[in-house]
Amino acid sequence: MLTRRFFDRFKKKESLKNRDDLGILVFENTSEVIQAERVLKKGGWPVRVMGPPPGLQTGCDLVIEFPLMERLHLQRLLTAVGIPPLEMVPVTDPLLKPVDLFHTKDFGLFLLVRAANMKITVEKKSLLIVNISGGGCPDVPYLASLMVGKTIYNTPRPCTMGHTLCGYALELALQEVERQCLP
Amino acid sequence: MLAIVGTVPDEAFPLVSGKVSLNGDILNVQGHSVAVNRGTPALLAAALKACEVLEGRDVTAFLVGDIGLGGGSRKLYSHLADHFPAMTIHTLAFHYLQPDVDWHNRIVFAVESMAKKPRMIADAGFMYAAKMSGQAEFYDLFTPDAGELAFLADETAPHPFYTRGFILHDENRAEDLIQRTYLHNNGAAYLLVKGKSDHIAHESGILTTVDHPAVEALEAMGGTGDTLTGIITALMAIDMPVPMAAEVAAKTNRLAGFYANPTPASSIIEVIHQIPRALAEVLKRFGDLLP
């Protein structure tokens, strides 16, 4: 039992990028993906939210990439909290490779980062958020009004202030801006 | 009357209805002011600027504060359900509102009680509710972006959360998605699909595509879809046929963006101030075709 725990801890710390044995968790809707991501990250599992691969016909706009070795573990865990995945698919084919949600455009003085449908533009020197675009969800104008004019250090976070899928995508975009711009 | 229904991203903003005016970058309605950023204020400001060219028509706003939780939207729905039956409205546009099928249907009943049905436009959250209710055909125009079109085209999706393509846009699938939208009766009489290319479509497919001028910095700017809906609302209020209004609006919105000479840090109000110049120029090109 202790040995098992020790190896679990070791696995959790491993980076997903260095592993070949990956799988994807497929859910019926994006609300379930967001809940599952929260549960798995809280448990320390090295998972990543991605776009669904072109070869996968079921599920919604988001999937979770996970270490395939942990398949049974994660299935039990997610079933126990009431969000069992529709499918757990091994990434065995290029058509089953999940797609990156992020795109970056360099405008010289400004950097635009898009996560799915939401875009954040920051001034590179000051890290001031100068624009937010995309998305028609009801909380988008509110989030934009809170964030534009703030720096990425002191902006309110969409994950706490938003209520929709667009708010979630905006949080991902902010995290990617932080990853690219902060030391 | 040209009327626009939507929300302001400020919980403290009260329910107001009345004639709206634009002073510089600030909208005023019934003694309340709101800065024009993206969202319904941008739509209203764009409609007002377009009306400056269209013989100075008035714009009436029905507004309420809502930060996306729906409390304000429900208050506004209730107000409209009570007051619409006695009103005369020529063109009616619905914008950022919490999607609520039950309230949507009560609004439809109220509109049906009016002496004459307005020309009906739905965008953003209210368009989701129109589709979810199965009453898309009640509308003259929907103005989706590529992700919202994917939701309209998905006959099984009860909510955008269930749709593949809602946040992962694929603009190359527009033709296919438009067909699918109409196959399952989830489209308004016309669609104006907003994106890198703007497509004007109805049940037979894409009628016109507008993709010029393309200004790269506008990709960063929030509110360009809102201004497009504002311009087309103003044009439909002068009885312009929907396909022509959509084409004129798409060209005007792009030209106004070009004239604003924006950087990625520019605000939508800079584009809005260029709408009269751009619209006058586009209307001149249409010349004798105008109603």
Q: B85 Cβ partners below 8 Å, 6+ apart?
A: B110, B113, B114
- Dist CA B233 CA B57 (whole Å): 12
CB contact under 8 A, B96 and A165: no
CB contact under 8 A, B220 and A165: no
- Dist CA B255 CA B198 (whole Å): 13
pLDDT of residue B290: 65
**Cβ-based contacts of B220 with chain A (< 8 Å):** 107, 110, 112, 119, 121, 130-131, 133
**Residue A78: which of A28, A15, A19, A7 has the closest Cα?**
A28
- Residue B39 DSSP label: S
CA B194 to chain A, closest CA, distance in angstroms equals 11
pLDDT in tens, B132-178: 999 999 999 999 998 899 999 999 887 787 888 877 777 788 999 99
Q: B49 Cβ partners below 8 Å, 6+ apart?
A: B22, B272, B273, B275, B276, B279
- Across the range B50-72, mean pLDDT stands at 92
Residue B205: φ, ψ to 5°? 125, -160
So where are chain A's domains? Answer: 2-96, 102-181
**Residue B152: which of B132, B138, B135, B172 has the closest Cα?**
B132
- Model confidence at A5: pLDDT above 50: no
pLDDT of residue A147: 97
pLDDT of residue A6: 44
- Dist CA B108 CA B117 (whole Å): 10
- Across the range A98-124, mean pLDDT stands at 93
Percent of chain B clearing pLDDT 70 (strictly above): 99
Dig out the tokens for A113 from the structure: 């980062």
- Model confidence at A7: pLDDT above 50: no
- Model confidence at A161: pLDDT above 80: yes
Quick one: closest CA in B to A31, which residue?
Answer: B161
Dig out the tokens for B39 from the structure: 């969202």
pLDDT confidence band for B74 (50 / 70 / 90): very high
pLDDT of residue A10: 42
CATH class of A2-96: alpha beta
pLDDT in tens, A115-154: 988 999 999 999 999 999 988 888 899 999 999 999 999 9
pLDDT of residue B291: 65
pLDDT of residue B269: 97
**Cβ-based contacts of B69 with chain A (< 8 Å):** 139, 163
pTM: 0.89
CA A129 to chain B, closest CA, distance in angstroms equals 9
Cis peptide before B118 (omega within 30 of 0): no
- Across the range B90-115, mean pLDDT stands at 96
- Model confidence at B221: pLDDT above 70: yes
- Model confidence at A41: pLDDT above 60: yes
pLDDT confidence band for A77 (50 / 70 / 90): very high
CATH class of B2-135+218-289: alpha beta
- Across the range A22-50, mean pLDDT stands at 92
CB nearest A144 (choices: B7, B145, B222): B222
Q: Is-contact B120 B107, C-beta < 8 A?
A: no
Dig out the tokens for B34 from the structure: 């709101």
- Model confidence at B125: pLDDT above 70: yes
- Across the range A49-65, mean pLDDT stands at 88
Percent of chain B clearing pLDDT 90 (strictly above): 86
Q: Is-contact B250 B192, C-beta < 8 A?
A: yes
pLDDT of residue A16: 56
pLDDT of residue A2: 45
Handedness of CA B176, B182, B184, B188 (dihedral sign): positive
- Model confidence at B30: pLDDT above 90: yes
Mean pLDDT of chain B: 94
Q: Is-contact B97 B67, C-beta < 8 A?
A: no
pLDDT of residue A15: 54
ipTM of the complex: 0.88
pLDDT confidence band for A20 (50 / 70 / 90): low
Q: B223 Cβ partners below 8 Å, 6+ apart?
A: A133, B37, B38, B39, B42, B268, B271
**Residue B245: which of B198, B281, B200 has the closest Cα?**
B200
Give the distance from CA A27 to its chain's centroid: 14
- Across the range B193-218, mean pLDDT stands at 96
pLDDT of residue A1: 43
Quick one: closest CA in B to A165, which residue?
Answer: B161
- Dist CA B117 CA B220 (whole Å): 38
CB nearest B165 (choices: A61, A139, A148): A61
Mean pLDDT of chain A: 87
pLDDT in tens, B34-60: 999 889 999 999 999 999 999 778 999
- Across the range B205-229, mean pLDDT stands at 96
pLDDT confidence band for A17 (50 / 70 / 90): low
- Model confidence at A14: pLDDT above 60: no
CB contact under 8 A, B68 and A61: no
